[in-house]
Structure 1
Amino acid sequence: MAVPAAASVRDANRYRPPEIAGLADLLDRQVRERPSARALVVTGERVRLSYQTLAALADDVAARLGDAGLRPGDAVGLICANTAEFVVGLLGAARAGLVTAPLDPALPEAQLAARVTGLGARAVLFDTAVSGAPVVPVPAWPLRVDVSGAGTTTVALDASACGEHQGTAASAELSERDALVLFTAGTTARAKMVPLTHANVAASVRNICAGYELGPGDATVAVMPFFHGHGLFAALLSSLASGGCVLLPERGRFSAGTFWDDMRAAGATWFTAVPAIHEILLERSDRDHPGPQAPPLKFVRSCSAPLNTATQRALERTFGAPLLSAYGMTESTHQATSEPLPQRGGLRQGSVGRPTGVEVRIVDGSGRPCPAGVEGEVWVQGPTVARGYLDDGEESARTFVGGWLRTGDLGALDVDGYLSLTGRIKNLINRGGEKISPERVEDILAGCPGVAEAAVFPVPDPVYGQRVGAVVVVREGDGAGREEILRYCRDHLAPFEVPDRLEVVAALPYTAKGGLDRKAVQARYGG
């Protein structure tokens, strides 16, 4: 049922999230009610694109894709940075009934080809400003959105006729109900394919909008890449569905040097990022943050990796806004929990908040629910949870059990339903039978004065099986040294948790999603 004009308008009694069915109708309410309102701010000249313009571009792309022989339920790849081309390509494909698989432009050619082949995509759309034509075994069509300084906008898509469809086991599992296929952000050679239906997308967007009460008065800057759920659902889709505005940075990538100028240009009211980016902004705040000239923020959001409490407090002091931690996975269509807005509930340091439109359960090793305060595996159930993995029945059976998503994360719920995460099951270090969470040790290390980042990993040991290793990055100009950091650890950790090996390094490796690349850390330092 349709809702009143702006689906995200607040009233004195109750916030109403946008009512959408999926990606295809994401813009429809805004086009009818607020066609001239700005949807995107794009290019280095920061040109505004209205909802009406964005919808017209998407419809143009949809028609061209249909003329090329693509049919509802077919899969297409999308290789773009955070540009107008990504948004127009995604929404155009959705309006044509296609299933879109966003792909990281930085992936090696072999991995891109493997993902396109495994999915059974019929074609790939790519942004010529990001890369040359990808070497993939299907037609690769260049997509370009031309925007003049006066706001005149056209789209060019060189979509030749498709050849015969070479289906795969994965593509055979897709249908018109599906909107997206996202690849898990792991660093393994074979990323898992997660199909997300339009219903999954709609539920996720509604939950995010409701949690933060996003509306037409809100704006943000796209910090996180759109080819992962964090940037796609939290920043882009939720903003567009609620009638807000998203500024796409020049060249489609986050830049710490232009971030605050972008925030002011957008009139941003919030933004979302991973802890690594929050650390960068905090580190540069003395010279970059505009102080009283900064746009007033309702909140700042952090997701996709643990944020230590010392950084959270420092961010709140610097930005003058509450820092809300959230938690989710690709398999849960991004967000599963979040800290509430301050007027909607208390903030609890170290927590990732309460469930947002899903049910969260903590389960012990035998599959029994744990009481409040007891650690176990985090399970999630609800309308955002995917049905399984494509072409991987064995892994689907392990991860999706009776409608529940087994996240592989360890955590505990308190009596008020707030979730605290304590680590990943597969990351636990076994030191002579003592199970050590590297995430907990990292959190303590990050609280040491002078430490900017930390990574903890197992070190092989002939007696204990594994010992604790750690590498840290210290803040520029700070005198924190190895012995000082170890003394801090001894004061704040159990003796068996204190790193046996600790090294100060210049930088840590991160995945494209912005999380710590643990495989790279282990390979580099764990031998």
Structure 2
Amino acid sequence: MAGRTKLGEILSVQAARTHVAQTPALYFADEVYTYAQMEAACAGAARELHLRALHTGDAVALALPNVPAFVAYLFGILRIGAIVVPLNPGLTLHELTWLIHESGARAVVTITKLARQLVSDRSSTPSLQHVISVDPGKPLDCPTTTIDMEIGGDADDTALLIFTSGTTGRPKGVVLTHRNVLANTAQVADRTALSSRDRVLTVMPLFHANGLMNNTILLLRAGASIVLQPRFDLDEFWRIVGQFRPTYFTAVPTVFARLMDAWDGRADTSSLRFVRSGAAPMAPSLQRLVEERLGVPVVLSYGLSEATCTCTMNPPDATRRAGSVGRALGDEVVAILDADGREAPPYEVGEVAVRGPNVMSGYFNAPDATAQTLRDGWLHTGDMGYVDADGFLFLADRKKDIIIRGGENISPREVEEVLLEFPSVAQAAVVGAPDREWGEQVIAFVVPRASGVLVVDELHAFCRERLARFKLPRRVHVVASLAVTSVGKVDKVRLRALASGDASPSEPLR
């Protein structure tokens, strides 16, 4: 795989290989860019940044949608040894300026509209010296003249500063080194047997850790091809699969649920060798349905930005375990810790902890938060789960997601999986809401299948057969769609707010 100590050398190494240089690195709409062309675009971006007096160690924010320019500037920033700060271009100006200020970014690369807004609001971002505007509809500039530049950065230098989603408070900046990213992408490549023969459909946002690591850096290191889409489009998805014939794609469970709900059996999936699901837990019932209809394995994985991206993963072969997010990747240790910080035996639920070369160096300018998360040699994830006798990890819930009703601990995921077994339910999310008598009550949000009618009384009876009385949802909100974050995770912070107020009509389940 290209890149041994520096992420910025990946494209130059690939372009120097005669058997790789003219192969497709990136497909986007009607555009096809070879590795040689992507290297040229990256070198041009690096030159532009260098001329603006940006150097090794400077933070550069990258707020672009899924377009080829994102990839060019990503590697252009890394080429000069600067630090990439990926940001969601869909954020408000207030949110963006706060993140730019927190990161101390000296420059930002973004779309024209946001560039104008940032220029007019410089008082909120005193560190910001350069605003680089990109027209996302314009093809990449791939100069034919060679641009010679020394590749900056070292293995233990900071490569990326990724802000967490903020679902547990204000976003924190995760500091990842070149070594972290190179280690984690090599681990995933080994588990999935990734090679230059792979062509991967990418609908995940590139500003997210999964899009960056698993759908961009990983693939270009391996010499594979990226079929980049601006976003997930249900109406176009299977046509694109048929046209570009990817060997796999990655999506969140909500996307898989929508694909299955609209399934008509006509899609050509013969090019796929597996599909990946990440970023959120997938219900076993949905996994079985996807595998049955697509005829390929669903590879479930688990990870978090603090561990670069991926910690555990099922192999694509028959040894995977239904309902499990797989075993630890190579050169990594995943353990379950009890309340006293000791490793728990198989099948005992505790906190998931991680140790390995992919674990972050810490949170940016947050020593107390770093000390709380990185302690005793472990990354404490805040997620709950257990491992079986063979080391396969099964997730329960995040500590903060556990619902405590009348002293009884209730796993939202357990309730969600029962709801998803009901034939008329396409998606489900369960949260806790404050209750004066019981402390918390179980509140469910369900999306009905497009092809069916959801009768709440029937759902209630279904749940009563499968759940203890104290686990039954007190209220069920039937909604057209679930609130989700920018990367497709169910936004339980928003759902808790809805559950705690008079959000919408609901039916009680007594």
Tell me the TM-score normalized by structure 2.
0.90
1:93 to 2:77 alignment: yes
Q: Distance in 2 between matches of 1:180 and 1:19?
A: 16
* CA offset digits 1:442-467 (Å, max 9, x no partner): 12211211111111111322222112
Aligned pair partner of 1:227 in 182, 207, 217? 207
Residues 145 and 505 (structure 1), Cα distance of their counterparts in 2 relative to 1, 3 Å cut: closer
Amino acid at match of 1:199: R
How far 1:175 sits from its partner (Å)? 10
Residues 1:349 and 2:331 are matched in the alignment: no
Q: Secondary structure at the match of 1:224?
A: coil
Once the two structures are superposed, the pairs formed by residues 130-169 of structure 1 within 5 Å of their partners are: 133-134=117-118, 135=121, 137=125, 138=128, 139-144=130-135, 153=142
Contact 2:403-2:442 at 8 Å conserved across structures: yes
1:318 to 278, 284, 293: 293
Residue 507 of structure 1 corresponds to 481
Counterpart for residue 276 of structure 1: 254
1:482 aligned residue:
456
* Contact 1:73-1:176 within 8 A present in 2 as well: no
Structure 1 position 221, deviation (Å): 1.4
Report the CA distance between 1:427 and its aligned residue.
0.9
CA distance in 2, matches of 1:176, 1:347: 34
Equivalent of 2:242 in 245, 264, 270: 264
Cα distance in structure 2, aligned partners of 1:131 and 1:117: 15
Contact 2:40 2:142 in 1 (8 A): no
After alignment, is 137-146 or 355-364 more displaced?
A: 137-146
Q: Alpha carbons of 1:119 and 1:131: their partners in 2 closer, same or farther (altered >3 Å)?
A: closer
Q: Which residue of 2 aligns with 1:3?
A: none
Shift in CA distance, 471/144, structure 1 to aligned 2, threshold 3 Å: closer
Aligned equivalent of 1:255: 233
CA RMSD of aligned residues (A): 2.1
- The answer on whether the counterparts of 1:78 and 1:86 sit within 8 Å (CA) in structure 2 is yes
Correspondence for 1:15:
none
Q: Would you say 1:450 and 2:424 are equivalent positions?
A: yes
**Aligned 8 A contact 1:22 1:201 in 2:** no
Counterpart pick for 1:395 among 355, 369, 373: 369
- Give matches, 1:32-431, under 5 Å: 32-33=16-17, 34-42=20-28, 44-45=29-30, 47-128=31-112, 133-134=117-118, 135=121, 137=125, 138=128, 139-144=130-135, 153=142, 177-187=157-167, 190-249=170-229, 252-286=230-264, 290-291=266-267, 293-342=268-317, 346-357=319-330, 358-431=332-405
Q: Which whole-Å CA distance do the structure 2 matches of 1:417 and 1:187 have between them? A: 29
Q: Which runs of 5+ in 1 are unaligned?
A: 1-6, 8-17, 156-173
Please tell me the residue identity of whatever aligns with 2:165: A
Q: Deviations over 1:428-482 (max 9, x none)?
A: 1111110111122112211211111111111322222112111211101312311
Native 8 Å contact 2:93 2:117 kept in 1: no
Contact 2:41 2:141 in 1 (8 A): no
Are 2:326 and 2:393, in contact at CA under 8 Å, matched by a contact in 1?
Answer: yes
Q: Hey, what does 1:437 align to over in structure 2?
A: 411
**AA paired with 1:37?**
T
Offset of residue 152 of structure 1: 7.5
**Following TM superposition, by how much is the alpha carbon of 1:404 offset from its aligned partner in structure 2, in angstroms?**
1.1
CA contact (8 A) 1:308 1:447 kept: no
What is the alpha-carbon distance in structure 2 between the residues aligned to residue 280 and residue 111 of structure 1? 29
The DSSP-based 3-state class of the residue aligned with 1:471 is strand
Provide the secondary structure at the position in 2 that maps to 1:334. Answer: coil
Whole-angstrom distance in 2 between the partners of 1:265 and 1:142? 32
Aligned partner of 2:133: which letter?
Answer: P
Contact 1:146–1:154 (8 Å) recurs in 2 = no
1:254-296 alpha-carbon deviations (Å, 9 max, x no partner): 222222222233320000011011111112221xx643x4442
1:385 positional shift? 0.4
Q: Which piece of structure 1 moves more, 29-38 or 70-79?
A: 29-38
**Per the alignment, do residues 461 and 144 of structure 1 end up closer, same or farther by CA in structure 2, a change over 3 Å counting?**
closer
Deviates more, 1:22-31 or 1:498-507: 22-31
Gaps of 5+ in 2: 145-153, 502-510
Identity %: 35
| Deviation of the 1:129 alpha carbon | 8.2
1:37-57 alpha-carbon deviations (Å, 9 max, x no partner): 100012x32x21000110111
Structure-1 separation of matches of 2:27 and 2:320 = 32
Amino acid at match of 2:69: E
Q: CA 1:80–1:389 in structure 2 vs 1: closer, same or farther (change >3 Å)?
A: same
Q: What letter corresponds to residue 192 of structure 2 in structure 1?
A: Y
